[in-house]
Amino acid sequence: MALGFMPSYAHLIKHRSDFALAHAYHLIPEQVKWTEWCQFIQYFRDLDDTQVAKRYHYGQMRLSRLNWAVRLFQPPSATTVWFYDIPNWSIGTYVQRIAKPLIFGFASISLALASMQVLVSITAEDLGWGAIGIRAMCRAIWVFSIAVLFLSGIVWLLMFVIPMAVLVWQVSWGFKHRDKQHTARMDTELS
C-alpha cells in the first residue's frame, strides 16, 4: 500500500516550496528535514507503475472513500468529523450548473419554432403579389427565417455531433491501446 502512496508524494513534493506546503498541511511530520526527505523519497521517484498495485495507477480516490477515511482516522486537517468534502445538501447548486444549458436550449428551440411560424404564415401568394415594398419585406423575412433555422441547426449539430464524435474516438482509442498495454504487461510478467 505504501508503494502506491509514496510515488504520489514523490511527484507532489519536488521542491522546497512543495515541502513547506506539505508541512503546513500536515502531510509530513514537522521533524522531517528537507535533506532527510530527499534521501528517503529518492527510491520512490523511480518506481514503475508495474511495481505498484493497479488501484494506484490512476491516482484518484472516490469521495465516498475519502469521507470514510476521515471518519475512521479523523486527521487534524479535516474541517469536519464526518466529511472530507461536505456534499451539497441543496438542489440550488445543481440547478445553477444546469440552468445555462437549459436556457440556451429553450431559447434556440423557441427561436427555431418562431422562424417556422413565420415560414408557415407567408404563403406563395404573399411572395408574388402586392406592392414592391411588401414583397421585398416578405422575401427578406422568409430568407431570414430560413437562415435562422439553418444556423440553429448548425449550432445544435456542433454542440452534439462533435463532442459525441470526440467521445467515440477517445473510447475506441482507449480500447485499442488497452489491449496493447495488457498484452505488453502480460509479456513482461511471463518473462
Q: What is the mean pLDDT of residues 148-169?
A: 85
What is residue 35's predicted lDDT score, i.e. its pLDDT? Answer: 92
- Between these two residues, 117 and 190, which has the higher pLDDT value? 117
Cell of 131: 406592392
Whether residue 163 is predicted with pLDDT greater than 80 in this model: the reply is yes
What is residue 185's predicted lDDT score, i.e. its pLDDT? Answer: 60
What is residue 17's predicted lDDT score, i.e. its pLDDT? Answer: 92
What is residue 173's predicted lDDT score, i.e. its pLDDT? Answer: 82
Q: Tens digits of per-residue pLDDT, 22-73?
A: 899 888 888 999 999 999 888 888 777 677 666 655 556 677 777 777 888 8
Q: Tens digits of per-residue pLDDT, 63-118?
A: 777 777 788 888 887 777 777 776 666 677 777 877 888 898 889 888 877 887 87
* Mean per-residue pLDDT over the chain, rounded: 77
Cell of 120: 408557415
Cβ–Cβ under 8 Å, residues 7 and 52: yes
Confidence band for 176, pLDDT divided at 50, 70 and 90: confident
Cβ–Cβ under 8 Å, residues 46 and 6: no
Long-range contacts of residues 32-41, Cβ cutoff 8 Å, at least 24 apart = 37/13, 41/6, 41/9, 41/10, 41/13
Confidence band for 11, pLDDT divided at 50, 70 and 90: confident
Cell of 19: 515541502
Confidence band for 129, pLDDT divided at 50, 70 and 90: low
- Between these two residues, 134 and 156, which has the higher pLDDT value? 156
Whether residue 155 is predicted with pLDDT greater than 70 in this model: the reply is yes
pTM of the model: 0.36
Cβ–Cβ under 8 Å, residues 44 and 9: yes
What is residue 153's predicted lDDT score, i.e. its pLDDT? Answer: 85
- Between these two residues, 14 and 189, which has the higher pLDDT value? 14
